[in-house]
Amino acid sequence: MSTPFSTSLLQQLRERQPDLPEAQRNVVRLILDNPRTAVVATVEQLAQQAGVSMPTIVRTCRSFGHDSVRGFMVALAQDLAVTGSHLHRSVQADDSARDVASKIVHAAVSSLTELGRAINTDLLDQVADRLAQARRIDCYSVGAASTFMANELQSRLFRLGRTANAIFDAHQQLVSASTLGPDGVAFVISHVGRMPYTVEAARFARTQGATVVALTQPGTPLAEAADLVLAVSVPQDAVMRVGTEAYLAHLVVIEILMVRLAQRLGPLVTRDLQQFKQLLHKHGFDSAEYAGAVGSVTGNPQGAASCDPATRE
């Protein structure tokens, strides 16, 4: 268990550095020189860069009240999360363009690295199994960010041959919840996880026997209403309730989940995905080779006539 401190971890590192053994001073110096890089580094990388052994990294973390390197890095990330301005948690008002770009990228990488450490793969597999068996999967959301995620999830499920809907209207969510039944899944996406009508729909779906999956922060009312919780924790955004790092984390969780689901469904699904890609390419979606696209660009109304014969149907 970590020892609570009234001062920030960064301040402790600065104040106690001179009194530490030499090897631990080297570790602390490395962290203070670039704390955002240190947060996303492995123990092996830190040890190599500081010129010390990996056990020294562990001892250094313990000397600051943390039983594990992970616990230390979580505390460091939380400390960094409150050091920025109201523009971004990592950015100061007078930062240069290079500083802004570097800090925002490092903050996003840090959040995704922590997600990778914390993600519950056994739980992901439970969700993938349930999605593979479900007769119908209805994706509920509220708000711009969650609606984007629900649309993405529904699209990915549809491509995998699952019967799936994305539902954003409060009344329709209740109708859905009443009809899913024991072989249905209500997949609810809300990072904030506190919208009353969506939480109500999740609870009602559960009373009807449906499996409720929540993609949300841990400890929210939505998390408490769900059977299976894909918990995503990211530092609070300085401007938006659901910031870019939450977007990225949710998309990564959905990506992992869809790959595991495809593995569950077997090789026929992989074949179908390839066929979808070829079909869309053949009919000109996201393809510069489509005859109609050439005609519109060149101004030739008979665009097909100007195509290379090898690309004609």
What pLDDT, on the 0 to 100 scale, is given for residue 164?
97
- Phi and psi for 185 in degrees, rounded to 5? -130, 130
Contact 135, 183 (CB under 8 A): yes
pTM (global) more than 0.75: no
- Phi and psi for 181 in degrees, rounded to 5? 75, 180
What pLDDT, on the 0 to 100 scale, is given for residue 256?
96
Q: Strand, helix or coil at 22?
A: helix
pLDDT, averaged across the chain: 84
Handedness of CA 186, 191, 193, 195 (dihedral sign): negative
What pLDDT, on the 0 to 100 scale, is given for residue 166?
97
More confident residue, 132 or 38: 132
Nearest to 175 by CA among 138, 144, 215, 224: 138
- Only one residue has tokens 């009443």, namely 178
- Where residue 84 falls among pLDDT bands split at 50, 70, 90? low
pLDDT tens, position by position, 162-182? 999 999 999 999 999 999 999
| DSSP letter (8 states) at residue 91 | B
Nearest to 190 by CA among 140, 153, 238, 256: 140
Percent with pLDDT over 90 in the chain: 50
Please report how many Cα atoms fall inside a 13 Å half-sphere around the Cα of residue 303, on the Cβ side. 15
